[in-house]
Structure 1
Amino acid sequence: MRQGTFKWMKSMNKSIILNKIRKDGPISRAQIARDTNLTPPTVSSNVKELLEQSIVEEQELGESLGGRKPTMLVINNEAFTIIGVDAGPESIECIRANLAGKVLKRSKTKLQLPMDNDQFIAALKSCIASCLDSTDQVIGIGVAMHGVVDRATGTSLYAPNLGLANIPIKEQLEKEFGLEVKVENDARAMALGEYWFGNHGELASMLAVNIGSGVGAGVIIDGKLYHGATDIAGEVGHMTIDLHGEICECGNQGCLQTFVSGPAIARKATGQNLTAEQVFEQAVAGDESSIANFKAAGKALGVGLTNLIHIVNPEKIVLGGGVSKAQQFILPEVRQTIQASALTPAASATLVEISKLGDDATVIGAVTLLLVDVFELT
C-alpha cells in the first residue's frame, strides 16, 4: 500500500478546478477559466500540477471554436483509492473504491457480541487490512459509525446497538495504518453518498433517511452536509409522533423510531419472535396483518417526513436502510400521507424515492467523506 496525500490539492484554486472537472469533465482549460472566473494562467499552472500528481488526465481533443482543438481534462479515477467502512450494529463492511465510487474490493466481518472497545477496534483493523492492496495509492479511510459521533476527534461517543461508548476510532486507525481517517454518523454518511453518487441530478437540498435497526437522517443544504449547532441534526428517529406512545430506548414516548424501525415492525407483528425480514416475507406472501404492519409504519413515516418538509423543505427525500426494501407497502402510504398533510401543493409534491445505491449507500457514503476533502472547499 502506498500512502496518498491530498494536501497538495487543498488550495482554493485547485479545489475549484478539481470540482469543476469532476462535475463537468471532459472540459477544456479555457472553459474552466470562463466558468470559474479564474485567469487562464492560473488554471494552466494548477492543471499542470494536477496532471503531475496524476489526479487529472488529458483526454481526446474537443471541438474547435475557431483556433486549434482544445485538449480536454477529466479526473483520473484510477489514480487513488479510498477505504470506506460501514460499522453497523451487527457487522463491519469495508470496501476499497476508486475516485468515482466504483467498488474494487470488499470484505465483511461479523461482530461477536457482546464486545468491548478494544475488540471492536480490532475487528475494524482486521476488516480494513483485508481490503488494502500493496500496489494502491490510498488517500484515506472513511468510517460511517452508528450512534453519536464526535467528528473533530473521530470518536464514537455512544454506539447504542453495541452498548459501547468513547471509542477512539480515528486515533487508533491513524496509528495503525498511517492514513487520514474521517468518522461520521452512518445516516449522514449515507446522505453524502446519495448526494454524490445516487444520480439525483443537481439538488440544492436533500434529506436521506436511513431506516434499519434505528432511524437516522442526513440533511444536505446548499450541497453541504448539515450538522446543526451541537452536531445532532438528523436524529429524526427521536422526533415525537405520539405523546402517549411506546417508550423509546432514548426514554421518551412515541418517537418515530418506535413506529418504523425494523425492531418496531417485528414487535408489532402477529406471532412470536419474528424478525422484520420474516414479517416482510409474510407480507410478500399476502399475509394481511403483515401488510397492515408495514402500511402503518409507512403512514407514521409519512407524518414524520411531513414535519421535516415543513421545517427543512428539501427538494427530495431519499429512503434507505433495510426497512426501505418493503417499499411496495411503505412508499405509497408515505406519499399519500405527505400529499394529504403538507401545507402547500408544492410541499405535498416533494419527491420521495428509494435509494438507488441500496445496501452500499452507507459504505459509499463513507468513501465520500474523503472525496469531499479532495474535491471541495471545506
Structure 2
Amino acid sequence: MQTAIGIDLGGTWIKGVLMNLETGEILKQLYQPTTGEKDWKDSVRDSVGALRQEATALHAHAQVRAVGLSAPGLPNATNDAIACMPGRLQGLENFHWGHFLNTSVRVVNDAHAALLAESRFGVAKGLPNVIMLTLGTGVGGGILIDGKLYQGNFQKAGHLGHITVDADGERDITGVPGSLEDAIGNATVELRSLGRFNSTYQLLEAYKQGDYLAQWVWLSSVRKLAIGLSSLINCFSPDMVVLGGGITQAEDNLLLPLATFMEQYEWRPGGHTTPIRLAQFGDMAGAIGAASFAIQGMEF
C-alpha cells in the first residue's frame, strides 16, 4: 500500500493525515495544539512519526512515499521552506523541514493546499482550471491552470483577497485600496458594522433575524465578493470557482444573495455561467492538500 503524509501547520492547530494514494482515503488523522508544552516544531515531528507508525500498523509493507506540509506564508522557490511569514509562528521563515525531519518534505501555502485537496479529491476533482477563495479571518486563494498549481513569481500568486473592489477604500495589509479581504474577511467585521458586531457569526445571526444594519453590512460584503469573483472569472475563465473557509458555513445565506449579484456582474457569453461550489473538505483541507502537493508528478 502506497501512502503519503500531509501536515497543516496553523496558528491554533497542527493537523495531520495519512492518505492512501491509490484511493485518496484518509487512513488516519491527528490534531495537536500549536501552542502548548512542546515547541510546535517538535509537535510536527511527533505527528509525522505517529503517522508513519500508523502506516506500518495498517499494513506490514506500507510505504510512506511523500511528506507534505502546508503553512501560512510564501514558500521559497524550491518549496522546502516558508520564505516569508512576518508576525506569526516565530522561527517558521526559512526553516528547512527536510533537514529537521530527516526526509524530503514539500512545503506549500495553506490556501494553495486547500485548492489542491479540492482539485485532486474534492468538489473540483478532474477539472483542469480552477480558482479557490478561502473566506475566513482574511481571504486567501489559489489558482489551478491545466491541472497544475500556479505559484507565480516569488510564489505569491493566488492572493485573491488582495484584489481591489473599492478603489476609494482604505489600504489593506499589502497596500491595496478597498481589497476583497477587507470587504468580507472576519477581521474587519467590527469596522464594517460600525462597532455593532465583532464576528461574522454575530453578523449573520442578526442578519437572519432581519436586523437592517446586519442586512446592509452582509449584503454589501457579498456584493463586493460577486464583483471580485466576476473580475477573476474574466481573468482566468475557470471551469469552477470553489469557496472554502469558515465564512462558507453561512451556506444559503451566502450562496443565494451571491447568485443574485452574480447575475448582475458576471459576463455570460452565450448564457454560459461559471459554477460556484462550496469546498468539500473542512479543516483537514490543508493537510490533504499538503499530501497532494507532495505526490504531484509521482506515478503509482
Shorter-chain TM-score bucket reads: 0.7 to 0.9
1:95 equivalent in structure 2: 17
Equivalent residue in structure 2 for 1:107, among 9, 15, 30: 30
Letter in 2 for 1:190: A
User: Per the alignment, do residues 341 and 193 of structure 1 end up closer, same or farther by CA in structure 2, a change over 3 Å counting?
Assistant: same
Q: Using a 3 Å threshold, how does the CA distance of structure 1 residues 95 and 204 change in structure 2: closer, same or farther?
A: closer
Q: Which residue of 1 aligns with 2:265?
A: 341
Q: CA deviation at 1:238?
A: 1.0
Q: How much does 1:299 deviate?
A: 1.1
Query: Normalising to structure 1: TM-score of the pair?
Result: 0.69
- Uncovered stretches (5+) of structure 2, i.e. residues with no partner: 57-61
Structure 1 unmatched runs, 5+: 1-78
> Do the aligned partners of 2:80 and 2:98 also contact (CA within 8 Å) in 1?
no
Q: Establish whether residue 147 from structure 1 lines up as the match of residue 102 from structure 2.
A: no
In 2, are the aligned partners of 1:298 and 1:331 still within 8 Å (CA)? no
Change (3 A) 1:188 1:325: same
Relative to structure 1, the CA distance from residue 98 to residue 285 in structure 2 (aligned partners, 3 Å threshold; closer, same or farther) is: farther
The 2-side partners of 1:263 and 1:216 are apart by 13
Kindly tell me the number of residue pairs found equivalent between the two proteins. 292
Residues 175 and 232 (structure 1), Cα distance of their counterparts in 2 relative to 1, 3 Å cut: closer
Shift of 1:309: 0.8
2:210, 2:24 → 1: CA distance?
Answer: 38
Q: Greater relative contact order (Cα 8 A, min sep 6): structure 1 or 2?
A: 2
CA distance in 1: counterparts of 2:298 and 2:6, whole angstroms: 15
**1:27-66 aligned within 5 A:** none
- How far 1:164 moved relative to its partner? 4.1
Does residue 181 of structure 2 align to residue 181 of structure 1?
Answer: no
Please tell me whether the aligned partners of residues 113 and 293 of structure 2 are also in contact (alpha carbons under 8 angstroms).
yes
| Matched-pair contact (CA < 8 Å) for 1:188–1:225 | yes
Counterparts of 1:244 and 1:348, CA distance in 2: 32
Q: CA deviation digits over 1:200-244, x for unaligned, max 9?
A: 354231111111122121111111111224422211111111122
1:179 and 1:210, CA in 2 relative to 1: closer, same or farther beyond 3 A? Answer: same
Tell me the residue number matched to 2:53: 133
Across the aligned residues of Structure 1 and Structure 2, the Cα RMSD in angstroms comes to 2.7
Output one character per residue of 1:274-307: Cα deviation in whole Å (capped at 9) or x when no partner: 3333334444555454344332221111111111
CA shift in 2, pair 1:283/1:122, >3 Å:
farther
Q: CA contact under 8 A between 2:163 and 2:176: conserved in structure 1?
A: no
Deviation at 1:183, TM superposition (A): 0.5
Point out the structure with max Rg over C-alpha: 1
State the Cα deviation string for residues 6-51 of structure 1 (Å, max 9, x = none): xxxxxxxxxxxxxxxxxxxxxxxxxxxxxxxxxxxxxxxxxxxxxx
SS at match of 1:167: coil
Change (3 A) 1:119 1:260: same
Partner Cα separation in structure 2 for residue 155 and residue 201 of structure 1? 27
Match of 1:363 in 2: 287
Per the alignment, in what secondary structure is the counterpart of residue 27 of structure 2?
A: strand
